[in-house]
Each structure stands twice: as C-alpha cells, then as structure tokens.
Amino acid sequence: MSILGLKKKQPKTFKVKVSTMDAEMEFSCEVKWKGKDLFDLVCRTIGLRETWFFGLRYTVKDTYAWLKPDKRVLDQEVPKDSPITFHFLAKFFPEKVEDELVQEITQHLFFLQVKKQILDEEIFCSPEASVLLASYAVQAKYGDYDPNFHKPGFLAQDELLPKRVLMQYQMRPDMWEEKITAWYAEHRNITRDEAEMEYLKIAQDLEMYGVSYFSITQNKRDTELLLGVDAQGLHIYNPNNKLSPNKSFPWSGIRNISYSEKEFTIKPLDKKKEVFKFYSSQLRVNKLILQLCIGNHDLFMRRRKVDSIEVQQMKAQAKEEKARKKVERQILAREKQMREEAERAKEDMERRLFQLQDEARMANEALLRSEETADLLAEKAQIAEEEAKLLAHKAAEAEQERQRLEVTALKTKEEKRLMEQKMREAESLAVKLVEQSERRLKEADHLKQDLNEAKDAERKAKQKLLEITKSTYPLIAAYSSPPPPTGPESPDTTLDMGSMSVRMDFKDSDMKRLSMEIEREREILPTWLRWPSTRKCERTIQSLFQEQFAAITDACMYTKNPATSHTMLLKLIYFFYVFDSCNLVLCTPQVMF
C-alpha cells in the first residue's frame, strides 16, 4: 500500500446551521463553496429576492463578522464547530421602508429583527411608542381584536415591552395589557403585513434605528467616541449619548473613506471642510466598518438611480401580488361580512324562533289560562246569577224590611212619644210612690197602734162571745134537748134542733184558728177602704148583722151536717167580733163571707 493511500481522505461537505428570526435551517455544503453559494441557498430556501439588505453573520471571539460572498466559507474565520452556526440578519437598512421593502418576507424579517432590537434595548424607544408598537405587533400576531376570544390575560406570555419601560413605571402586567389592548382594538381590519409595515414606519423614525455602533478614538490620546454607520451616513457620538450625534457625515457629502491599519480617514466632498480622522484598535473591527460603509454607500447611490430590471420586475410582481391579495382580502372581507351577516341573520332567526316558540308557549299557556278563566267565569257567572237572584230576593226582603222599618219607625216615634209620656208618668209615679211610701210609713205606725187596739178588742170580743154564747144557749136548747155528754173531754154546749143537732166544741184549736183568721183580716185591712165610724154605719151594720144572724141561725137549724153547723157558728162568732169592732173599721161583705 502506498503512502498516499494511508493518508486520511478529506470530507467533501460540511454542516451548516442557519438561524433566521423565525426559523432554523441546516444545510450540507460542499467544501469549495463560497460565501455567496451558501447565502444564495438560504435566500432560495426562504424565498427572498431582496438579498442586498441581508447577510450571514457569525461570531468571532468577542465581536462578530459578516460572511464574505467572494471567498470560500472554510477559508474565512468561521467557527470550527460542526455544524457551523450563522445568523441570517439584515446587514443594511432602508431609508424608507414603505418604498424599498417590496416582498412580504423581506418586510417580515425586518419586522422581527427590529422588534427584537427594541425589546433587547439595542434601539431606544419611549414608553408611549413602545405601547403603540406593541399594539401593532399584537395585531400582526392575533389579527382583529375580538373581546369574546381575547380575554384578559391573553398577552401574559408575550414579550411586548422593553424591560426598561416596565421598570420605569410601577404598573402591573394587567395594566400594561389594558393599555396595549386599547390601541390594539383600534387596528381592526389591518392585515399582518400592513401591521408589520406600520410597525416599521414608526420604528424607522427612532434615533437608533439601523445604526451600527463602534468604539473609536479621535486621536492617539484615546479620546473615546462612538462611530455610527447607517443608511444616511456616518455619525460621531459621545459614549453616553447614542441618540444625538455630535457630528454627521452624510453619504452625499463624503468623497472618500480610507483606512490604514488602525487609522480611518473621511474626506468630505467639499474640499474646504476639514478631513476627519479616527482610530480603531481592532483590525477586524476596522474591516467591518469599511464593509458597512461601502455597502451603505452603494445602497445610497443605488436608491438615487433608476431601478434595475430585476427590481422593477420585483416591484411589479409585488404590486400585482399586493393587488391580488387586496382583492382576495376584499373578497374575504365580503365573505366574512356576509358570513357574519348570515350568522347574525341565523342568530336573529334562532332568536326569533326561540321568541316565537316562547310566544307560542305563552299563547298556549294563555289559551289554557283563558279556558280555565272561561270556566271560572262561567262558574262565577252562574254564582253571580244565583247571587243576583239572592240579592234580588234580599232586595225584596230589604224593601219589605224597609217598609216595615218605616212603619216601625212611625210606631217607634209613637212608642217613643208614649215612652216619653210613660217616663214622665213613671217619674210622676215615682214621686207619688215616694210620697205614698212616706205615707205608708205613717200608716204602718197607725196600724201598729190599731193592731194593739185590735188585740184588746179581740180579747174583749172573746169575753163578749162567751157571754153571748151563754146568753143564747137557753134559746137553742128550747128547740132541742140533746143528751148530756158523758165523756170528760166533751165540748161545753150542744145544739139539738129536732132531727138536726149542732155540737159546739170550742177547743183551743178552734180559738187559734179564729185568731189566725182575724189576724189575716187585720193584715189585709190597709188595702181596704176606710170608712168613718158614724151612727149611720152602725145602723147599717146592725141591720146587716140581724139579717146575717137570722140566715146563719136558720142554716144551723136545718143543716144535718155537723161540720157545716160548726162552720156557720164560727162565722156567726166572727161576725160578732167584727160587729164589736165596727167602731174602728168595716169590712166589705165579699171579703167577710
């Protein structure tokens, strides 16, 4: 085996990883490829035709460098890692994004890169501008604002504002979200590319937009300055102020830029102006500055020339594409509007259907209620009719009652008058009764006296009765001679008139009976008519006594009942007593007999 065969074969390809702002790609490159070959492959892969703005950047020690297009990749100071990492970024920035950026992919890559630079605070942005830019970024990502879909907190995971702005104000994330959403809601009907273009229009007016900064010194005494390179020209800044340059050299006023090792020389177009020199300590940085100056100057001059055929075709195609997309968006907008209208109409129809169903249900319920009400009303009508009849009957009764009450009222008036009269009479009678009561009290006193006198008279009458009885006994005995009594408890006398005999037994019980009758007659005396004891009355009493005595005597003679004879005899004795007392009072014959 030859010595050459023992040599290790060199690989024909190498791995490359290219990172764009929104994707990562890996390629297998040939060893002989130059930087332009790899760059064109990446541009073809992502569909980019505006290649003059971009480049492949890689990291070298503590700085970065851009891949040279006319030199082999492996011959440059690229990392020795496998795969070799490159970043596909915008190397040059347009003066006016709305005029120079033709393709949407170009615009989108610029949008992502500028947005990252603002969030990383490589480009200074005020809080107000940051909120507005964030609203366009949200519009580009989420589309039109829909309060039903974009609920509070939907931006919690998105990085939209620089940390410097968040730290500058003591505001909660939900407060920032509310401010961003307020602007976001106003960007309705803006497409993604339009929102990104609006974002870039605002960003290109920022002082640090598209500027690449490098540390330099103006002289050998190391007076530190900053050199800024952008699409407008070269600018000199103080290290602590990247916003306002101390001195500017526009591309239109620069005749030549040259450098020798660490020294740069800027020759103005106006020979009267002083040549500006500055120093950079790193050769690698000096080469980078020179590349940026050449590239920006070329683009500056290119913008002021007529566009090439390629650019014109690109712009025409982009214009046609935009017109086509505009028409598509209009069609889509119309379809969306029609769909929304159809959905609204559907919702209206559904709502109307539900409403009609509710109305039908309510009507059915109302019908049922009406039927129930009709039945209830029929029952009520029947009840009302019965009540009407009852009320008519009651009305008739009430009329009769009214008539009766009228009559009663008349009677009541008459009765009232009579009652009043009776009340007056009662009052008069009460007065009279009071007077009579007083009079009766006096009479009671007299009656007590009369009672005492009557008792005396009774005692006298008993004695006289005994005398009369004794005097009349021979007369009675002449008519009849009864056998003498044999028992010791026989009465004192006996009358015998032929076949009728009257036995006269005056026992203590008979005397008590006679006394009780006399007392009862005495008690009735106050109600009898009182007559004065005159001689005429005495004669009348004597005449009556004689007639009554004859009648009683005949009755005693002819009666056969001993009890009757006994009663007649008691009446005769009582009559004697009254006769003896006639000088006080005289009783009517009806009461006496």
Q: Residue 340 domain-assigned? A: no
* Predicted pLDDT of residue 509: 60
User: Do 254 and 297 share a structural domain?
Assistant: yes
My answer on whether 220 and 196 are in the same domain is no
pLDDT tens for each residue of 398-414: 788 878 878 877 877 78
61 shares its domain with 181: yes
For residue 341, pLDDT over 90 is answered with no
Assess if residue 223 is contained within a domain.
Answer: yes
Across the range 199-222, mean pLDDT stands at: 88
Could you tell me if residue 393 is inside a domain? no
Alpha helix (H) residue ranges in 47-149 = 97-100, 104-119, 127-142
Q: What phi and psi, each to the nearest 5 degrees, are found at residue 204?
A: -70, -15
Q: How far apart are CA 530 and CA 411, in angstroms?
A: 43
pLDDT at 488 over 70: no
Q: Please provide the average confidence, as pLDDT, over all residues in the chain.
A: 79
Residue 403 located in a structural domain = no
Same structural domain for residues 192 and 44?
yes
Report whether 34 contacts 72 (CB < 8 A). yes
Give CA–CA dist 127/115, Å, rounded.
14
Last residue of a domain, one of 305, 340, 362: 305
Residue 277: inside a domain: yes
Q: Are residues 182 and 232 in the same domain?
A: no
Phi, psi of 193, rounded to the nearest 5 degrees: -65, -35
Nearest 5°: CA angle at 443, between 438 and 449? Answer: 140
Among 305, 334, 359, residue at a domain's last position = 305
Out of 10-14, 134-138, 477-481, give the one with best mean pLDDT: 134-138
CATH (domain of 237): 2.30.29.30
Locate 583 and state its tokens. Answer: 């000088």
Please indicate, yes or no, whether residues 55 and 36 belong to a single structural domain of this protein.
yes
Measured CA to CA, the distance from residue 14 to residue 30 in angstroms comes to: 6
The total number of structural domains that make up the chain: 3
The answer to whether residue 398 is domain-embedded is no
Q: What is the pTM of this model?
A: 0.59
Single residue among 247, 279, 305 that ends a domain in this structure: 305
Q: How far is CA 275 from the centre of its chain?
A: 84
Are residues 118 and 169 both part of a single domain?
yes
**DSSP letters of 433-497?**
HHHHHHHHHHHHHHHHHHHHHHHHHHHHHHHHHHHHHHHHHHHHHHH--PPPP-STT--SEEEEE
87, 220: one domain:
no
* Same-domain pairing of 32 and 154: yes
Q: Which residues constitute the domain of residue 24? A: 13-203
Same domain for 225 and 164? no
Are 88 and 220 part of one and the same domain? Answer: no
Residue 61 lies in a domain: yes
Indicate whether 31 and 143 sit together in one domain.
Answer: yes
Residue 409, domain member (yes or no): no
CA distances from 247 to 152, 225, 233, 244, 276 (A): 48, 11, 11, 9, 10
Whether the pLDDT of residue 462 is over 70: the answer is yes
- The answer to whether the CB of 170 falls within 8 A of the CB of 178 is no
Check which CATH number belongs to the domain holding 150 and give it: 1.20.80.10
Sign of CA dihedral 378, 384, 385, 386: positive
- Residue with the bigger pLDDT between 403 and 578: it is 403
